[in-house]
């Protein structure tokens, strides 16, 4: 029962309730609402408004503080805040300011990511008109849309934008454009009588939709967030699910927290047991913790994303949400619409098909009656517009310019046909029927020119057209016998022929799909067309269609079965907004990274659900607000370029993570080990921070680095276990040379505290920095893979700075002492041998474990996603 109160069924229950209301009489609906069919009295309307609230879509509010606080939950940011504290304690205020700036930048980026959800909701609100005509106190009044309540009677006319969901009471030739909710471009018939109807919502008019013809009245059954449009607003307002890249970064952060905590506690306890002061041991262990933290990771990620964003902008791809660049590189499955993406998005007349042996001229001659300005002055749908734009049809229309309109039966989406009664100049009146081929042929009793077996011949021609993906209309005629047009069009028509329309495949789409196939992206198609039409287009473009399925067929499937169904099928037709989002979520449950390309309000929930939501420049404001990426041109080739750029960006980000953690771990492992047998700290806390900071500065240009081509074809994924293996292999490898340095400094140079610390500082920095030239690629460095010039320059400059520090004016402040030429001679030998050892270890490592940025092997579905060209 509705009883005038808001009933708030969730998800598919809301649509089911609308279907139920459409199937019962207006009197029964009024009884549930606790009102009459003649509308509400003003006092009752005011009481309902006070009880249920205004008819507005949900607003997410600003919640500035709450959003900002959620950003601080990242464990990596907590580590960086700890690094800030340690830097302040040891007097490194510059380091503290830099790290704090990095934290602030990460928080700000995350804040704006959530805040953009408000923009999508505001755009949704613009779909609602601000006024409505309702019957109050027995007379029609124009009131603000916010004041409409359940039980109000709406007066409906052409051009109205519905302000609420309502059950029709009366409807005369009423059609509604529901593209805002369904994506369907053609209006649908609306009928007041209860079903059964082909459209299960024929008795309902829905918020946000537009009345295209007719007039009527309706009883409001839901307002605001209880409407179907409100459900979309709720989905858009909700925080988007964590993307794969964000989830991977979260896992990496937790891994780093665990390693850092364990190492810090061990070093603190060991140094305290060895008799060093508690404060000294604490500061040293905290400095070790900070040293293990890749402090500039947020900055490296941000720089990588910013550079990627600028490169994508040159490819006419606008990134609204920077982290989406990384996720774009991870994409394995792309859900895309057909119209305008795989096809030109412009329907045109492909052919006029008459009886065998004819040129179709007679078909155009009769169909041209719809184009004669004296008979029919406007195209009522995209097919009529395509007919009007065809030169052949225009010539045929000119030949019948003297015909006069004597009557018209408007096109009905229930009948799926329309009719004209025309009078010829020389006398005689004809009824011309044009509409859906199957329906018109059922009303035909003859087929002049088609022969004795006319129906079989006509069926063969029709089937051939349908198999080639055409939208087909049939044209039939009969002589006027004086009866009403509804009766004359019900039978005894003479079939003239067919009009075949098509939205041709884009010539560039096949090449773009081949690029996506080479990138191991599985393309699945969502369409409002008949599945057979979409299947034909896919076949023409080389997409291997594994299966076709409609929204009705997936309704009611459980999560596991839905995931299997989505994986098995390629084309999905006539899905509701919630079904689109469910299909995306089903693919994500299989562990796939999903991108969704859509441009309508009905696509907004799926755009938010996907790892990467993609829209286009001419999309609705709602779709663009919900998307992460906006394409200035609706071309798949642009998207392929974006995915390639995303994989390059991800590859360079992972380079930093793997090298920074392994080098930092090696240094800290060495420091921890040395602290157990040295009478002094192997490196002062300020020196550790200086080493780590200078190393990070040298890596700031890593986002500009070149990426080996073999890393591009496979979707990239996080693998914490691989990061751990990399860290424990290459970290201790550098520690071996650290301990050789310890031996050299103690046994050969008989170094005291300051000299020892200076020698290890220079050696550790040179080895951990120069090794970037080897570990940045799986190929032979310099010969088969060259670093970018900015990376080479900053790396070498920072090495020179590190070598110069013990001789600089800052040496005393940092606790350094000048080193002898003999040390640098030994250092050169150690660096050369270290790099040789690392190169051998690198070849062993990548031979036994797959590359992180290479991703996983393609699935059988990916291998068969696009047929070979």
User: In Å, what is the CA distance from 559 to each residue of 547, 584, 588?
Assistant: 19, 12, 11
Q: Are 842 and 778 in contact (CB under 8 A)?
A: yes
The pairing of beta strand 139-144 with beta strand 131-136:
antiparallel
Burial 260-297 (b: 16+ CB within 10 A, else e): beebbeebbebbeeeebeeeebbbbbbbbbbbbbbbbb
Q: Are 699 and 300 in contact (CB under 8 A)?
A: yes
- Which of 95, 113, 147, 337 is catalytic? The answer is 337
Catalytic residue check, 337: yes
The burial class, CB within 10 Å (0-12 / 13-18 / 19+), for 118 is middle
Give the residue among 487, 468, 488 at the shortest CA–CA distance from 477. Answer: 488
What's the CA gap between 576 and 568, in Å, rounded? 20
What's the CA gap between 609 and 764, in Å, rounded? 46
Q: Are 643 and 512 in contact (CB under 8 A)?
A: no
Give the residue among 480, 411, 473 at the shortest CA–CA distance from 439. Answer: 473
Where do runs of H (alpha helix) occur along 351-476? 361-367, 382-389, 391-398, 437-442, 454-467
Q: How would you write 672-705 as a 3-class SS string?
A: HHHHCCCCCCCCCHHHHHHHHHHHHHHCCCHHHC
Q: Are 695 and 798 in contact (CB under 8 A)?
A: yes
What's the CA gap between 510 and 593, in Å, rounded? 23
DSSP-derived secondary structure for 548-586: EEEHHHHTT--HHHHHHHHHH-SEEES--HHHHHHHHHH
Element counts in the chain: helices (H) and strands (E): 34, 22
Residue 341 is given by DSSP the state: T
Contacts of 456 (CB under 8 A, 6+ apart): none
Q: Are 96 and 87 in contact (CB under 8 A)?
A: yes
What's the CA gap between 7 and 4, in Å, rounded? 9
Give the residue among 355, 293, 345, 275 at the shortest CA–CA distance from 102. Answer: 293
DSSP H or E segment with residue 325: helix 324-330
Tokens linked to 18: 């609308």
What's the CA gap between 645 and 623, in Å, rounded? 23
Active-site annotation, residues: 337
């Amino acid at each position: 029962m509705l009883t005038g109160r808001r009933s708030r069924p969730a998800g598919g229950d809301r649509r089911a309730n609308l279907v139920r209301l459409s199937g019962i009489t207006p009197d029964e609906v009024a009884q549930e609402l606790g009102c009459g069919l003649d509308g509400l009295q003003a006092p009752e309307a005011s009481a309902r408004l006070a009880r249920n609230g205004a008819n507005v879509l949900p607003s997410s509010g600003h919640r500035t503080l709450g959003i900002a606080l959620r950003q601080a939950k990242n464990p990596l940011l907590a580590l960086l805040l700890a690094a800030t504290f340690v830097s302040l304690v040891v007097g490194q205020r510059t380091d503290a300011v830099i790290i704090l700036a990095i934290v602030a930048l990460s928080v700000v980026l995350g804040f704006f990511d959530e805040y953009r959800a408000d923009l999508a909701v505001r755009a949704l609100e613009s779909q609602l008109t601000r006024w409505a005509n309702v019957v109050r106190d027995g007379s029609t009044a124009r009131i603000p849309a916010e004041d409409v309540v359940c039980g109000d009677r709406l007066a409906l006319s052409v051009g109205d934008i519905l302000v609420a969901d309502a059950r029709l009471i009366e409807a005369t030739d009423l059609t509604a454009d529901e593209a805002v909710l369904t994506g369907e471009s053609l209006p649908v018939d609306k009928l007041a009588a209860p079903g059964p109807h082909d459209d299960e919502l024929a008795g309902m008019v829905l918020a946000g939709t537009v009345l295209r013809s007719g007039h009527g009245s309706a009883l409001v059954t839901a307002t605001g967030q209880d409407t179907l449009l409100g459900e979309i607003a709720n989905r858009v307002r909700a925080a988007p699910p964590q993307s794969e890249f964000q989830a991977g970064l979260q896992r990496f952060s937790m891994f780093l927290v665990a390693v850092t905590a364990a190492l810090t506690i061990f070093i603190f306890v060991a140094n305290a047991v060895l008799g060093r002061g508690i404060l000294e041991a604490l500061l040293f262990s905290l400095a070790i913790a900070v040293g293990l933290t890749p402090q500039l990771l947020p900055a490296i990620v941000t720089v990588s994303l910013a550079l990627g964003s600028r490169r994508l902008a040159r490819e006419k791809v606008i990134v609204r949400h920077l982290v989406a660049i990384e996720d774009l590189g991870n994409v394995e499955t792309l859900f895309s619409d057909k119209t305008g993406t795989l096809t030109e998005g412009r329907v045109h007349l492909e052919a006029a098909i008459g009886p065998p042996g004819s040129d179709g001229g007679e078909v155009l001659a009769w169909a041209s009656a719809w184009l004669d300005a004296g008979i029919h002055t406007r195209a009522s749908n995209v097919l009529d517009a395509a007919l009007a734009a065809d030169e052949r049809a225009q010539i045929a229309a000119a030949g019948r310019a003297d015909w006069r309109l004597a009557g018209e039966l408007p096109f009905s989406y229930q009948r799926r046909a329309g009719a004209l009664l025309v009078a010829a100049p020389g006398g005689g009146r004809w009824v011309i029927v044009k509409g859906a081929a199957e329906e018109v042929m059922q009303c035909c009793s003859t087929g002049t020119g088609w022969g004795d077996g006319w129906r079989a011949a006509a069926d063969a021609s029709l089937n051939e057209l349908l198999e080639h993906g055409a939208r087909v209309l049939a044209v039939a005629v009969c002589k006027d016998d004086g009866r009403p047009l509804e009766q004359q069009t019900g039978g005894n028509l003479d079939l003239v022929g067919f009009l075949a329309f098509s939205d041709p495949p884009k010539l560039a789409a096949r090449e773009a799909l081949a690029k996506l196939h080479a990138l191991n992206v599985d393309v699945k198609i969502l369409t409002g067309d008949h599945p057979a039409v979409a299947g034909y287009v896919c076949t023409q473009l080389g997409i291997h269609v594994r299966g076709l399925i409609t929204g009705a067929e997936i309704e009611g499937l459980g999560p596991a079965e839905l995931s299997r169904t989505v994986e098995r099928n390629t084309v999905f037709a006539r899905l509701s907004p919630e079904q689109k989002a469910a299909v995306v979520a089903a693919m994500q449950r299989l562990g796939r990274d999903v991108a969704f390309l859509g441009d309508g309000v009905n696509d907004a929930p799926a755009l938010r659900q996907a790892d990467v939501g993609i829209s286009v420049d001419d999309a609705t404001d709602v779709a663009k607000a919900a998307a992460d990426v906006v394409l200035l041109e609706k071309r798949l080739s642009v998207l392929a370029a974006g995915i390639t750029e995303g994989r390059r960006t991800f590859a360079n980000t992972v380079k930093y993570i793997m090298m920074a953690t392994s080098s930092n771990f090696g240094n800290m492992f060495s420091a921890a080990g040395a602290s157990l047998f040295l009478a002094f700290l192997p490196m002062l806390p300020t020196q550790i921070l200086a080493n780590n900071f200078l190393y990070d500065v040298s890596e700031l240009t890593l986002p500009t680095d070149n990426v080996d081509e073999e890393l591009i074809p496979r979707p990239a994924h996080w693998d914490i276990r691989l990061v751990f293996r990399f860290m424990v292999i290459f970290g201790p490898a550098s520690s071996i040379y650290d301990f050789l340095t310890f031996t050299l400094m103690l046994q050969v140079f008989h170094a005291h505290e300051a000299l020892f610390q200076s020698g290890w500082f220079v050696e550790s920095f040179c080895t951990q920095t120069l090794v970037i030239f080897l570990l940045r690629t799986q190929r032979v460095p310099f010969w088969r893979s060259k670093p970018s010039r900015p990376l080479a320059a900053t790396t070498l400059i920072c090495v020179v700075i590190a070598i110069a520090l013990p001789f600089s004016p800052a040496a005393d402040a940092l606790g350094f002492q000048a080193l002898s030429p003999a040390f640098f001679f030994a250092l050169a030998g150690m660096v050369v041998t270290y790099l040789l050892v690392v190169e051998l270890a690198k070849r062993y490592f990548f031979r036994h474990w797959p590359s992180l940025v290479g991703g996983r092997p393609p699935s059988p579905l990916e291998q068969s996603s696009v047929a070979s060209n």
